[in-house]
Structure 1
């Protein structure tokens, strides 16, 4: 039915490739490309069907265009680094192909992630008759679709949104990150922003904490309010929201290590001179930490990610909690990856499937919640991320 070019062979790239390879009726041909082709070959060797691999520098637009023109895909799935979103979008425009990513653009030299740079491509993609689907991971991604699904089926108007991301997994290391260390640490150490009464309110990073008990025996965890990019598009596309917050769980060991590393300057993004060379501290730290793709075999436990929404239905107040629980070891058994990469990679495959099947196909640049949530939610149940709904769950987040 279709041919896809997947760019990026990290943990998420591996999951996307595995999941696409499982659906031969949709993804007839797959090409996996990365700066290091050996990583692509390693993933390809795990599959039950042959795929093509290639080498590409995702920072180099002419190189990307040459690869796209040679491969001639129906869709480019970008699971490279967020710093490379714009070069890949530029290449897709030049080569005339649709685009999908899992995380919004972030400048290499500024710890600031927002959609403005990619939303600026709206007219270019529309005029070219091409579609760019932004943030088709879990958060952002599935959480945006969760919100749209809840708003469509349970409410006349939604008023508050709390996205809660709990990782109850244990990899056994004193300190490691479950996805790209550089991106992870930049997110966690950034100032918190949440939406309240028509504006974003800024508070110090990790300054608001609550205890949250997950359903289905996953456990009770400390969750911390932080900024996450899906809030930016959700408050724009659901203007009735009076408050929107994002929460993530962190263990005490992780936070203590992060505090010490920050105090000694290892999380900095400004280059420093060392032995006559310019190095960026956080990039050097990334080289010292375990590769997230290597955590799969040793990670045990579950993730619990979902949305708590309040609002009104038939004039009465209402609360709904929609969530997914994912088991790290079950993910590894299926695609040789832990659940963090799995929960990002599966929605990327489903978003691609929506576009290729024409269920989500509209020229321009779009966020997930702007599409019909129903077919995506149906496929989440089919392809490894089953979800559940609790009405009136009996808790409130301040």
Structure 2
């Protein structure tokens, strides 16, 4: 564990790594040789890594440029592949150096702390394999407007793209998350956050991140790009409610893009949502006279990118007595503690815990706080119901004892 920790410190802080064997010197001064790092060894034994095609440091810079395998289409980087603030090469130089590189095998692929507007110098790059456990990172690049890797297709890494102040687009049209052919690890983690305030991700990009059901979406913050110019998605029954409100939306939409607000103005058109299985945004039901949510019978997934907001907010619907979304099982709510919230609807919703528990059990086995009705989690709703039943039982028993007591007095009066 100490050795792995040392390896990741080298990746994070950019210190070049050279030695094939790692050593640790204990306090008594005796040097212990633990042999090659297991991650390094895994790359060195990968049959795709040919002799002469290893990048033996972790930062691409002029000081070791002559050792970079410029003629290899597959570059293997046992210590990671980084282009960062220490990289002293121009875009033109990088384009020339990397013109043959199509595949990278490394436990970290990082472009960080640079001043580049994009990474077009990696134009030939097609695949990055981190054995499913490493990270594909573009972070803290203050001038970067987009990543712009148009040929990058298969990435077997966790994704971390964030704090790029000028980035408004990913521009990764071909990127697919795929499991490494030489590894079989756990699920991927995807994080895209705190880029430019106008940052948006395209629906096709998000769909490719969603290909595995167990992908862990962490800090997905931003918005979805408009569909207006995407004829392919429009033909597949994707409907953007920002451009086409529910009142005039087609009745056969399967996917909704944008925050869906159902209110007193459009509540008569909720039948159009009968086939919708995914909402790329938030769902709000507010100030309606609806009595149930049966129109959401096909809804499976809600993928919000609005930080701190619930994916479902249902409030001020005095006639709403039944909140059932039977197929709803997947959501993303960035930095939101309670993703499903209901307030000030009919009293019937608070008189039973069924609706609360049904939604909670559909979404999680452990997180008992993710659904609340009038601020109460399901267990507290049931607690209050049980307490009321107990009170009524005590009152009824008390009334029964009083009747028996009075009857006893009446009988005694007759007898004596």
TM-score of the pair, normalised by structure 1 = 0.25
User: Relative CO higher for 1 or 2, CA cutoff 8 Å, sep ≥ 6?
Assistant: 1
| Higher helix content, 1 or 2 | 1
TM-score of the pair, normalised by structure 2 = 0.25
